[in-house]
Chain A
Amino acid sequence: MTNSGGITIDGVGMQFDGRQGVTALDGIDLDISAGEFVTLVGPSGCGKSTLLRIVSGLLEPTSGRVDVSGKTPNQARRDVDFGFVFQEPALFPWLRVLGNVLLPGRVLGRRNPNKGPESAEIARELLRDVGLEGFENHYPGQISGGMQQRVALARALSYGPKILLMDEPFGALDEFTRDRLNLQLLDVCNKAGSTVLFVTHSIQEAIFLADRVVVLSPRPGSIARIADVPWPKPRALEIRYEPEFAALTGELRGLLTVEDEVESAMNQP
């Protein structure tokens, strides 16, 4: 299992049945190496979330194939190689914060690499890393949306997945919370060494987080541009005010058609 955590997407297309037979994705080619942080950015309806679901084996593509470290997405999913953070925190309201982070371990049972008391220790440490120390015994209904999303992140990392898939996880949060979570995310992912595929419709967020930004244009969803992000990690929020950052932002935004630019600008926080 060489290149453990790498992903190769080869000519992937996705067609949804329906009255018009919508083509959500068309001819996507992308190589992601282990430990890389790749963001997918584009306006609504460009198939970003669909691509995440194809990579994780939740959806079967209508054409092309995906290789996850020598396995099909379904095999990788069965081996629990993925962590997934959704748009909504999707926490279980009847479990306390710690219980939610421990849930994957309980579901995995013997397949969980972190066993016994060790798993509880790891869960507590992850909660500390995302700044939720002292909230272990709160119910999700008692904490804010941003805190809930941080619990979801800790939950996704709790069983040490090789690949972390994130579907607009911070889209519903205010700018300040989002900034703080971006920093924590970089920190936590760096520590875990996981490969990250992160979907967002904020170009700024996409650049700030990524080693590489993949710009998707819609109808049908296809890759408009793959841009390398030069700033070394760890990064400070201030890099966003550097002229090169603004130039890259402008360049990527220019790739999207005028109509979609309005749409994506409206989606910015």
Chain B
Amino acid sequence: MSDTRERRNIANALLRFLPSAAVFVAGLVAWELWVNVRDVPAYLYPSPSEIGGELRDEGLSLAVDDLRWTMIEAVLGFLLGSGAAMFAAVVFVHAKFLERVLFPWAIVLQTVPIVAVAPLLTIWFGFTLTPKVLIAALICFFPVLVNTTKGLRSISTQAVELMSILSASKWSIFWRVRIPSSLPYVFAGLKVASSLSVIGAIVAEFTGADRGIGFVIIQASYRLDTRLMFAGIALSSAAGVLFFNVIGALERLALRWPDARLDR
């Protein structure tokens, strides 16, 4: 019985996904027709079928040789940036003074254009993983910081009073109330960060790398190889979507109670 329900759920999910898929396909068809009918120069506007061919021929090697590195950078940066942000949020919640002193600088950090910082880090750290990981971490930091701080503060007065009636320690309140109440917010922040981290890694690769999707795209642009550029764009977006969905799956595992997820 649960098997049929499972199947029905999958069918429902597919059905819900159908309209967006149809829009996507319609867009591709329109694009293909436009390229063929107007006879635009193929080196400027490759048609979807040409990009598809490129992906078929080069996709695997692109994924193994380049996308792999981009994703390693993105994931490491995501872990570093989110970890640092969660730590900072915990500190902020327990030391208002530090929050007052440091939060304005977190905002400044957020407003610094990473495109401008990336070359600087490349000068400092060379063509290594480090600048890419740092840029990805930088871009992840703020959304996770803001969401986690908000989440840790989202506990009700009555929950605090209840814990006070039980003469609970600060640690107990933190562990049993603050952490679980913060989880929905934390995951909302992590989902934003997961998609941003891929962008951060690619931008960092633009400024100095010898491998990675960002490197492939920038090299292809020098050669006006738009087909390869599109292939790189398609692959990196797919990887970003995949990463986002991995975090989404973890969220569903962690937030099992009704109405826990903020974006539902």
Interface residues of A (CB under 8 A from B): 53, 56, 58, 77-78, 80, 82-84, 86-88, 90, 92-95, 103-104, 106-108, 139-142, 159
Contact = CB atoms under 8 A, between A and B. Distances in A.
Contact of B159 (A80, A92, A140, A159): A92
B222 interface: no
Contact of B172 (A83, A88, A107): A107
Contact of B158 (A56, A90, A93, A108): A90
B167 interface: yes
Interface in B145-174: 156, 158-159, 161-168, 172
A78 B167 contact: yes
A106 B175 CA distance: 12
Given A93-B257, A141-B258, A86 B166 contact: no
B159 to A, nearest CB: 6
A5 to B, nearest CB: 16
Q: Which of A80, A106, A107 has the most CB of B within 10 A?
A: A107
Interface in B10-41: none
Interface of B: 156, 158-159, 161-168, 172, 176-177, 180, 183, 255-260
Contact of A107 (B161, B176, B183, B256): B176
A150 B172 CA distance: 24
Contacts of A141: 257-259
Contacts of A82: 165
Contacts of B260: 93-94
A153 to B, nearest CB: 13
A108 B161 contact: no
A90 B156 contact: yes
Contacts of B167: 77-78, 80
A139 B165 contact: no
Given A90-B156, A106-B176, A139 B258 contact: yes
By Cβ-Cβ distance, the 10 closest A-B pairs, closest first, are: A141-B258, A90-B158, A84-B165, A86-B158, A94-B180, A107-B166, A139-B257, A94-B257, A107-B168, A78-B167
Contacts of A106: 176
Nearest to A93: B257
Given A92-B180, A159-B166, 17 more contacts: A56-B165, A58-B164, A77-B164, A77-B165, A78-B167, A80-B167, A86-B158, A88-B158, A92-B159, A92-B176, A93-B259, A93-B260, A94-B180, A94-B257, A103-B176, A106-B176, A141-B258
B262 to A, nearest CB: 13
Nearest to A53: B161
A140 B257 CA distance: 9
Nearest to B163: A107
B161 A86 contact: yes
B157 to A, nearest CB: 9
A84 B158 CA distance: 10
